[in-house]
Amino acid sequence: MHFVYPCLPYRPRTVDPMWEPEYEWALAQGLATGLLDLDNDKAWVPTLAAAARPQVLYRGWMLTPAEYGRLARLLPLAVPPAEYLSSHQANGWYDAVAAHTFPSRFLT
């Protein structure tokens, strides 16, 4: 498993400060890590080519459906786009908890 974190768009290969503590921790644990510049469709995952069956777990800002789709075309993701979207957008998981919470309305 490889963990990919967002980098600063104006400083490629520099992890976004919001994710830097987790990124540094993952590196210190010896976990396979990489950086992602989704604005320019670039990823730096050094050991990805050497892995027999690479899978990438994205750790970063919540992405729109289009952004996650671009990410899925760029890297072999452990979480397919449909699963990511169903867990990150309320209209994908609300029905499972609707009976146990206050009513919600989703507006466009």
Task: Supply the CATH number for residue 28's domain.
Answer: 3.40.50
Determine, yes or no, domain membership for 88. Answer: yes
Question: Would you state the pLDDT for residue 50?
Answer: 59
Ranges of residues in the chain whose predicted pLDDT is under 70: 47-53, 89, 91
> In terms of DSSP bridges, do strands 42-44 and 56-58 run parallel, antiparallel, or are they unpaired?
unpaired
State the pTM of this model: 0.79
What's the structural domain count of the chain? Answer: 1
pLDDT in tens, 24-49: 999 999 999 999 998 888 888 876 66
Determine, yes or no, domain membership for 91. Answer: yes
The DSSP symbol for 19 reads G
**How many whole angstroms separate alpha carbon 37 and alpha carbon 79?**
19
Is residue 58 helix, strand or coil? strand
Residue 26 host element (H or E): helix 20-28
Determine, yes or no, domain membership for 63. Answer: yes
Question: Would you state the pLDDT for residue 29?
Answer: 95
Determine, yes or no, domain membership for 108. Answer: no
Determine, yes or no, domain membership for 32. Answer: yes
Determine, yes or no, domain membership for 66. Answer: yes
Question: Would you state the pLDDT for residue 59?
Answer: 95
Work out the number of other CB atoms within 10 angstroms of the CB of residue 95: 9
Domain span including residue 85: 2-100
Determine, yes or no, domain membership for 107. Answer: no
Tell whether the torsion through CA atoms of 26, 27, 33 and 37 is positive or negative. positive
Residue with tokens 């600063």: 8
